[in-house]
Amino acid sequence: MLYNINSLEWDEELLDIFKVPRAILPEVRSSSEIYGEVKIDELNGTKIAGIAGDQQAALFGQACFASGSTKNTYGTGCFMLQNVGDKPVASEHRLLSTVAWQTSGVTEYALEGSVFIGGAVIQWLRDSLGVIEQSSDVEVLAASVTDNGGVYFVPAFAGLGTPHWDQNARGLIIGLTRGTGKAHIARAAVESIAFQTADLLTAMNADSNADLIELRVDGGATTNDALLQFQADILQIPVVRSKTAETTALGTGYLAGLAVGFWASKNELAEHWQADRTFEPQMSSTGSKALTDRWHEAVSRSLNWAK
């Protein structure tokens, strides 16, 4: 990062180290202001007024405006951001500290972490094992068994991301017996997405000391109701699916709308945001802990495999 997260100015020392001329870099601007206008045909005069990184935009699109509010995007990987307020938090649990956005002269910060293999594990079941024909089939297959049958799937195909950051970790399916079938493996694959997300959120809350009341979620994999129910069970907090799946586009639209006066404030945006469905925990905390402890045992066996 060539700019200083505290001053939001280009870091002259880093520019010197990497021999990047200051003159070729743009001016650092806020996330919500009028930068210019479109000069093309029907769009002529349209204001260009909002800019943000994709995950920061999704955080804004999920109306996570209060410190501690958190969103997770379930795509090929999973990407979680938590609003930490107007001062950056230096992570002690291997997370990234980042600027969330700057609006009306106020800068807010976030903690960020990522899961390398989220929905990609379902694609692997489809493309490499052939146990499903299309990704949406996994929900029915996984639901055909009452539990994972003691099977845990650590999808460390490219190592493990936050909070492990172990590029030498490798994928592991453990707990197989003669009674294990493809449905158990499919269920374990789906559950792995929720387990990894829980590990990420645990690290995040340890840094921020947040007392989370819900997790807002978006992304392609959130069409899987069973995944989100299991996520709520493991986290022991409600999981709230946004009515708008494309929250990155929504967030940039919100930022632009604020700049041109279409919306007056973030409070108005918070009222505009809508939930599609809330998944309440149905599992006991004892049951959740037992499954999570077993997951951690499986993870420990996958670490540092490719020495």
Across the range 42-59, mean pLDDT stands at 93
Report the pLDDT value the prediction gives residue 1, as an integer from 0 to 100. Answer: 57
Which residue ranges form the domains of the chain, and what is each CATH number? 60-246+268-307 (3.30.420.40)
| Res. 25: pLDDT tops 90 | no
Digit-coded pLDDT (tens) for 284-306: 999 999 999 999 999 999 999 99
| Res. 307: pLDDT tops 90 | no
| Res. 4: pLDDT tops 70 | no
Report the pLDDT value the prediction gives residue 209, as an integer from 0 to 100. Answer: 94
Report the pLDDT value the prediction gives residue 6, as an integer from 0 to 100. Answer: 61
pTM: 0.92
Mean of the per-residue pLDDT values of the chain: 94
Regarding predicted confidence, which is higher, 275 or 7? 275
| Res. 2: pLDDT tops 80 | no
Give dist(CA 6, CA 28) in Å, integer. Answer: 13
Going by C-alpha positions, the residue among 193, 235, 244, 189 that lies closest to residue 215 is: 235
| Res. 245: pLDDT tops 90 | no
C-alpha pair distances (Å), 25 with each of 5, 54, 290: 16, 21, 52
Across the range 33-47, mean pLDDT stands at 91
Instruction: Provide, rounded to the nearest whole percent, the portion of the chain with pLDDT above 90.
Output: 87
215: confidence class by pLDDT, cuts 50, 70, 90: very high
Report the pLDDT value the prediction gives residue 160, as an integer from 0 to 100. Answer: 97
Across the range 161-180, mean pLDDT stands at 97
Across the range 126-142, mean pLDDT stands at 96
